[in-house]
C-alpha cells in the first residue's frame, strides 16, 4: 500500500520535534493531523513541498514546515520533498526557471559574465536576475505542485480501488469454495 511505503522512509514525530531548525514550532508539530497518511494530507504535502522546492529561498525546510502547519498537511512528506532541490539539481532547476521567467517577462537572458565570490558580484547579478528567477520559479513550482497534487490523488484512488477489487476477488473465491 502507498501509505506503508511512504511511512517506511519517514522519520517519526520525535525526530522531527528534536530537529534544531524546527524547534520554534513547539508543540504544534505534535498535532496528529500533521502525521496522518491519507490521500488529502499526502497530496497537499506534495503540493507544499514541491512548490517550496522550486523557489530559491534559504531555509526551504522551515518554510515548508510552516506551510504544512498552516494548511494541516503531512509534515514529514512536505519537508522531505524540498530536497528535490539539492546541490546537484539546484543549478539546473533555477537556471531553467530563470529562462522561463525571462520568456514570460520577454527580457533577454543575462549573459554569463563569470562567477566571483563577492558581495558586490552577488548584488550586481542578483539585481539583474531576481524578477525573472522568482517569477519563473514560482510559476514552474506552482505548475509541478498542481500536477503532483492531482497525480497523488489519482494514484491513491487507483491504489484503493485496485486493493478493493482484489479483496472482492479473494472473498468471492473463498465463498465459492
Give per-residue pLDDT as tens, 124-170: 777 788 899 899 999 999 999 999 999 999 999 999 999 999 998 88
* Average model confidence (pLDDT) across the chain: 84
Q: Where are the domains of the chain?
A: 2-88+141-176
A 10 A CB-CB count for 157 gives 11
Q: Whole-angstrom distance between the N-terminal and C-terminal Cα of the chain?
A: 28
Q: Which of 41, 51, 44, 73 is nearest to 145 (CA)?
A: 51
pLDDT of residue 81: 92
Backbone angles phi, psi at 140, to 5 degrees: -65, -45
- The answer to whether the predicted template modeling score (pTM) of the entire model surpasses 0.85 is no
Once rounded to an integer, what is the mean pLDDT over residues 87-114?
A: 85
Nearest CA-CA partner of 29 in 40, 47, 12, 16 = 16
**Which helix (H) or strand (E) element contains residue 4?**
helix 2-9
Does the structure show a pLDDT above 90 at 50? yes
Q: What is the mean pLDDT of residues 12-21?
A: 69
Amino acid at each position: 500500500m502507498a501509505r506503508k511505503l511512504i511511512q517506511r522512509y519517514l522519520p517519526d514525530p520525535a525526530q522531527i520535534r528534536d530537529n534544531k531548525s524546527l524547534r520554534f514550532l513547539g508543540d504544534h508539530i505534535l498535532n496528529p493531523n500533521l502525521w496522518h497518511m491519507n490521500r488529502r494530507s499526502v497530496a497537499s504535502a506534495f503540493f507544499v513541498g514541491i512548490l517550496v522546492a522550486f523557489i530559491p529561498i534559504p531555509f526551504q525546510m522551515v518554510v515548508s514546515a510552516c506551510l504544512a502547519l498552516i494548511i494541516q498537511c503531512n509534515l514529514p512528506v512536505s519537508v522531505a520533498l524540498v530536497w528535490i532541490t539539492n546541490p546537484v539539481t539546484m543549478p539546473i532547476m533555477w537556471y531553467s526557471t530563470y529562462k522561463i521567467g525571462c520568456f514570460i517577462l520577454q527580457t533577454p537572458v543575462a549573459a554569463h559574465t563569470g562567477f566571483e565570490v563577492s558581495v558586490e558580484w552577488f548584488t550586481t547579478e542578483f539585481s539583474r536576475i531576481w524578477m525573472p528567477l522568482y517569477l519563473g520559479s514560482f510559476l514552474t513550482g506552482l505548475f509541478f505542485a498542481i500536477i503532483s497534487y492531482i497525480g497523488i490523488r489519482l494514484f491513491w484512488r487507483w491504489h484503493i480501488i485496485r486493493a478493493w477489487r482484489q479483496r472482492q476477488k479473494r472473498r468471492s473465491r473463498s465463498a465459492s469454495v
